[in-house]
Structure 1
Amino acid sequence: MSQYNLDCIDLSASRTELHDLLSLTGAEISCNNLPAGVSVPFVHAHKHNEEVYLVLEGEGRLYVDGKELPLKEGSCFRVDPGAERCISASADKGIRFLCIQVKAGSLDAFTMNDAVLSDKKPSWL
């Protein structure tokens, strides 16, 4: 079995989930596009998973636990599992964002604590 998956998605699709495409085992990642004036059609929370969002382009609003906050290109935020959330594109500009969903409290190590350097080199190093 291969130790990696490589694929390509249509960045203009309304929503693409990478779970099945990349055989993810520790996270759910989706790329989302909402046209101007369009909203995710429901408010939701999760049982176990926190969500991290990164706005790649456009503008919109985040609803979280009764508050409405502005979003713009570069906005990033994390939402606790139990927080109720929804996203909307602005009236005159669409919004493209990534959503990364992981089990809250499951991260044991991150890049500097988990990385193992190799002596092998790709052609560009």
Structure 2
Amino acid sequence: MEPNQVNYSINHAGAFSNFGNVTEGMIKGKIFLKESLNLTSMEVSLNNLPPKGEIPFYHKHQENEELYIFLKGQGLIQVDGNEFEVIEGTSVRIAPDGVRVLKNTSASEDLHFIVIQAKENSLSQWVQTDGIILEQPVEWGKSVK
């Protein structure tokens, strides 16, 4: 590693329940992480859709597939005219050409989810082929920032 090179970036976005006051781009309740974390191979957004809230437009992508990971609440996601229920623990992958929209079906609970975008078919290695286990003991308590 070069001197002064930092191999990480950190963003403390806060509680998902506070995202309702944030507007980035066209959507209220969404925080994009690309800029704050200097992401180079993906876009990630943290999302809070309020009770009965919905994305007000259909969309698709040119190159990026999306992975929706639902953390709390309940809703419906529509892909190419097909509707699917989403709840805590649901994950949905959508190809770039998939026409999509999302809504929160709860009258009282926020829908919290993470969306990860990456170029379709660009993954050449994954944890079992890319990961390297190092032969050094794990130590904790050195520094907390």
Q: Taking structure 2 as the reference length, what is the TM-score of the superposition?
A: 0.81
Tell me the residue number matched to 2:12.
Answer: 8
Task: Give the distance between the partners of 2:77 and 2:11, measured in 1 at CA.
Answer: 30
Task: Give the distance between the partners of 1:89 and 1:24, measured in 2 at CA.
Answer: 28
Segment of structure 1 superposing worse, 90-99 or 109-118: 90-99
Segment of structure 1 superposing worse, 86-95 or 101-110: 86-95
1:120 Cα deviation after fit: 2.9
Paired letter, 1:99? V
What is the DSSP-based 3-state SS (H/G/I as helix, E as strand, rest coil) of the residue aligned with 1:47?
A: coil
After superposition, where does 1:1-125 map in structure 2 within 5 Å?
1-10=5-14, 11=16, 12-13=18-19, 14-92=29-107, 93-124=109-140
Task: Give the distance between the partners of 1:121 and 1:6, measured in 2 at CA.
Answer: 24
1:119 Cα deviation after fit: 2.2
1:41-93 C-alpha deviation (Å, 9 max, x unpaired):
11100000000010000000001101111111111010000010011001413
1:77-110 C-alpha deviation (Å, 9 max, x unpaired):
1000001001100141321100000000000010
- Alignment root-mean-square deviation, CA: 1.1
Q: Which has the higher contact order (CA 8 A, sep 6+)?
A: 1
Gaps of 5+ in 1: none
What is the DSSP-based 3-state SS (H/G/I as helix, E as strand, rest coil) of the residue aligned with 1:112?
A: helix
Q: Taking structure 1 as the reference length, what is the TM-score of the superposition?
A: 0.94
